Amino acid sequence: MEIWINPACSKCRSAVRLLDAEGVGYTVRRYLEDVPSPDEIRAVLDRLGLEPWDITRTQEADAKELGLKEWSRVADARERWITALAAHPKLIQRPIITAEDGTAVVARTDEAVRDAMGR
């Protein structure tokens, strides 16, 4: 199990605390420092069953500067979004947990973290 976190994020800290309290083994990826490649973002999206715009933090300053709210959200625009997430990792929703069964969850709630632990 791997968890993508930003240590400054309260939801990330909460998820890590819950994983620790449950004694679950996991690897931390500080994705702002160890930036995921476009291929890694594609793989996580496949595991999540989501599109890049589904995991984009559109209220961030970078998102506003890029005008992401106006970007198309169709299959032909997918690569543009993935490129933006790789270039601006702060835009990636967090935390993301990749589960043992090959799936992943955006773990913003204790329920989502527990769901990932059960997979």
The residues carrying an active-site annotation are: 9
Which residues have C-beta within 8 Å of that of residue 38, sequence separation ≥ 6?
A: 79, 82, 83, 86
CA 101 vs CA 2, 5, 53: distances in Å: 12, 20, 24
Tokens representing residue 6 in the block = 């930003």
List helix spans (H) across 35-77.
38-48, 61-66
